[in-house]
């Protein structure tokens, strides 16, 4: 065997080792701009990188997901939706059963495959579509996407054999949207489903009482009086949120912190593990025209969901990696036998194992959690100030609200 051929094999092994690096995850400029609140500039960097690497690349979905989120944070909701609809196609959400099946990548690693997103990331595509439509005032489309969230989760549970629960944030959002359209029966159903998932959500008892009141059901009003422990002030507040009060309502969507980061698992370095990132803020205060009116409440914990979802798949991932070890050894042994060269067999193992690294790709710019605040305000143009408690400068937006209507506004805090 010639030295030239030996050098070529070594070079192939090194290429396999270095080729595992994710182009998107090594991109830092877009992340820096996003952290600085320069969302449109971040989106421009991501669009340029996507054009350079092509939508057929193995990291294309990562670029599109972060692009959609950067545009969402910049207030470019229509452009954001175009990106998220493209992400929905790239993630192949239509084939829900594939979410429970790991491809037979035994000789290489998962990091050499096209990225198809974690289950919770697939669900969040529809969550952000729903938020974008709500922020655009397109309630019907927002409801469709909010309901898709829990339909996806249902199919993951029934067909994908996952142990996931329904998404309280999507249920609550659809309930608010149904109420805004005067569809009180559907709103009441979704408020009740939210109660089953998050009975401790402040104000939810008032929401249920108000829908019972709007539907003229005294027995249900008394039920929520008792179950939620409502006071006279609670009932008055609930009525003010009704469509005939002459007041307006602000729905503040607060995206807090930064999601966990994937790194190799110290117990099994070929597998990834999510690690929480530094998040000093738990909630935010909300003021309207300088008057403090409330605080945000967490309704969807992305960090906990990411960690739990990945850990739930560990049994299958470990089994696959062990099968991969056997396959690598068998193929390397066959190469050695067929070439009568122990060195070639050894180099084949080097190539195989160099490529078998933990896939640490993830939707990089997600928040740690999604929070909500509901505020009754006077109609007109209002300045909304959200102040993260524990760190970070106040975030300010101006919103136009109408009597008897609900207006959505979103904020993103990054540590």
Q: Is the pLDDT of residue 366 over 60?
A: yes
Between 192 and 103, the more confident residue is 192
For 325-356, the pLDDT digits (tens) are 545 555 555 665 667 777 665 655 555 555 56
Residue 334 falls inside a structural domain: yes
Residue 224 falls inside a structural domain: no
Looking only at the bridges linking them, the beta strands covering 297-301 and 395-401 are: unpaired
Q: Is the pLDDT of residue 1 over 70?
A: no
Question: How confident is the model at residue 12, as a pLDDT?
Answer: 46
| Cβ pair 407, 249 in contact under 8 A | yes
Residue 335 falls inside a structural domain: yes
Question: How confident is the model at residue 356, as a pLDDT?
Answer: 61
Quick one: tokens of 243?
Answer: 């469509």
38/5 Cα distance (integer angstroms): 50
Between 96 and 362, the more confident residue is 362
Residue 215 falls inside a structural domain: no
Q: Is the pLDDT of residue 187 over 60?
A: yes
Quick one: tokens of 212?
Answer: 């019972």
Instruction: Tell which residue, 149, 86, 75, has the closest CA to residue 399.
Output: 75
Residue 227 falls inside a structural domain: no
Confidence of residue 358 (pLDDT cuts 50, 70, 90): confident
Question: How confident is the model at residue 349, as a pLDDT?
Answer: 54
Task: Provide Rg for the chain, Cα atoms.
Answer: 25
Residue range(s) defining the domain that contains residue 36: 3-182+243-413
* Total number of domains in the chain: 1
Question: How confident is the model at residue 101, as a pLDDT?
Answer: 39
Question: Helix/strand/coil (H, E, C) string of the chain?
Answer: CCHHHHHHHHHHHHHHHHCCCCCCCCCCHHHHHHHCCCHHHHHHHHHHHHHHHCCCCCCHHHHHHHHHHHHHHCCCHHHHHHHHHHHHHHCCCCCHHHHHCCCCCCCCCHHHCCCCCCHHHHHHHHHHHHHHHHHCCCHHHHHHHHHHHHHHHHHHHHCCCCCCCCCHHHHHHHHHHHHHCCCHHHHHHHHHHHHHHCCCCCCHHHHHHHHHHHCCCHHHHHHHHHHCCCCHHHHHHHHHCCCCCCCEEEEEEEEECCCCEEEEECCEEEEEEEECCCCCCCEEEEEECCEEEEECEEEEEHHHHHHHHHHHCHHHHHHHHHHHHHHHHHHHHHHHHHHCCHHHHHHHHHHHHHHCCCCCCCCCCCCCEEEEEEEEECCEEEEEEEEEECCCCCEEEEEEECCCCEEEEEEEECC
For 77-128, the pLDDT digits (tens) are 999 999 999 999 888 743 433 443 343 444 455 555 778 888 999 999 999 9
Question: How confident is the model at residue 6, as a pLDDT?
Answer: 44
Question: How confident is the model at residue 314, as a pLDDT?
Answer: 65
Instruction: Tell which residue, 360, 308, 259, 313, has the closest CA to residue 26.
Output: 360
Between 345 and 268, the more confident residue is 268
Between 188 and 343, the more confident residue is 188
63/85 Cα distance (integer angstroms): 13
Label residue 58 exposed, middle or buried (CB < 10 Å: 0-12, 13-18, 19+). Answer: middle
Confidence of residue 155 (pLDDT cuts 50, 70, 90): confident
| Cβ pair 373, 348 in contact under 8 A | no
For 197-247, the pLDDT digits (tens) are 999 999 999 999 999 999 999 999 999 999 999 999 999 999 999 999 999
Residue 200 falls inside a structural domain: no
Q: Is the pLDDT of residue 267 over 60?
A: yes
For 36-58, the pLDDT digits (tens) are 999 999 999 999 999 887 766 78
| Cβ pair 256, 387 in contact under 8 A | no
Q: Is the pLDDT of residue 317 over 80?
A: no
Question: How confident is the model at residue 339, as a pLDDT?
Answer: 72
Q: Give percent of the chain with pLDDT exceeding 70.
A: 79
Mean pLDDT estimate for the chain: 85
Residue 202 falls inside a structural domain: no
Question: How confident is the model at residue 95, as a pLDDT?
Answer: 44
Question: How confident is the model at residue 8, as a pLDDT?
Answer: 46
Between 274 and 270, the more confident residue is 274
Label residue 326 exposed, middle or buried (CB < 10 Å: 0-12, 13-18, 19+). Answer: exposed
Residue 157 falls inside a structural domain: yes
Question: How confident is the model at residue 410, as a pLDDT?
Answer: 98
Between 305 and 323, the more confident residue is 305
**For position 364, which CATH number holds?**
1.25.40.10
154/147 Cα distance (integer angstroms): 11
């Amino acid at each position: 065997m010639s030295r030239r051929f030996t050098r070529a094999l070594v070079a192939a092994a090194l290429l396999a080792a270095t080729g595992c690096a994710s182009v998107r995850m090594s991109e830092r400029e877009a992340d820096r701009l996003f952290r600085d609140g320069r969302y449109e500039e971040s989106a421009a960097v991501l669009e340029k990188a996507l054009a350079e690497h092509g939508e057929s690349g193995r990291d294309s979905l990562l670029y599109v997901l972060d692009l959609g989120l950067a545009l969402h944070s910049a207030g470019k909701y229509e452009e954001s939706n175009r990106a998220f609809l493209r992400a929905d196609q790239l993630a192949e959400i239509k084939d829900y059963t594939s979410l429970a099946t790991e491809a037979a990548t035994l000789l290489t690693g998962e990091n050499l495959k096209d990225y198809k997103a974690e289950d919770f990331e697939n669900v969040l595509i529809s969550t952000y579509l729903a938020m974008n439509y709500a922020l655009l005032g397109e309630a019907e489309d927002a409801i469709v996407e909010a309901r898709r969230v829990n339909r996806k989760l249902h199919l993951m549970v029934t067909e994908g054999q996952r142990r996931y629960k329904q998404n309280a944030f999507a249920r609550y959002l659809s309930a608010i949207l149904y109420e805004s359209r005067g569809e009180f029966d559907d709103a009441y159903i979704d408020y009740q489903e939210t109660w089953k998932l998050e009975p401790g959500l402040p104000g939810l008892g008032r929401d249920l009482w108000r829908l019972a009141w709007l539907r003229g059901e005294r027995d249900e009003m008394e039920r929520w009086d008792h179950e939620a422990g409502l006071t006279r002030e609670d009932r008055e507040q609930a009525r003010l949120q009704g469509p005939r009060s002459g007041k307006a309502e602000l729905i503040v969507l607060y995206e807090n912190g930064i999601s966990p980061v994937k790194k190799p698992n110290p117990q099994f370095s070929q597998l990834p593990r999510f690690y929480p990132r530094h998040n000093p803020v738990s909630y935010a205060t909300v003021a309207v025209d300088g008057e403090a009116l409330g605080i945000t409440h967490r309704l969807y914990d992305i960090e906990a969901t990411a960690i739990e979802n990945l850990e739930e798949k560990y049994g299958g991932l470990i089994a696959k990696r062990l099968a991969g070890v056997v396959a690598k050894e068998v193929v390397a042994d066959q190469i050695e036998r067929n070439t009568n060269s122990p060195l070639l067999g050894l180099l084949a193992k080097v190539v195989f194992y160099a490529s078998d690294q933990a896939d640490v790709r993830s939707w990089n710019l997600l928040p740690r959690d999604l929070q909500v605040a509901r505020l009754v305000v006077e109609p007109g143009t209002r300045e909304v100030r959200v102040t993260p408690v524990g760190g970070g400068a106040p975030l300010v937006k101006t919103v136009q609200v109408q009597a008897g209507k609900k207006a959505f506004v979103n904020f993103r805090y990054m540590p």
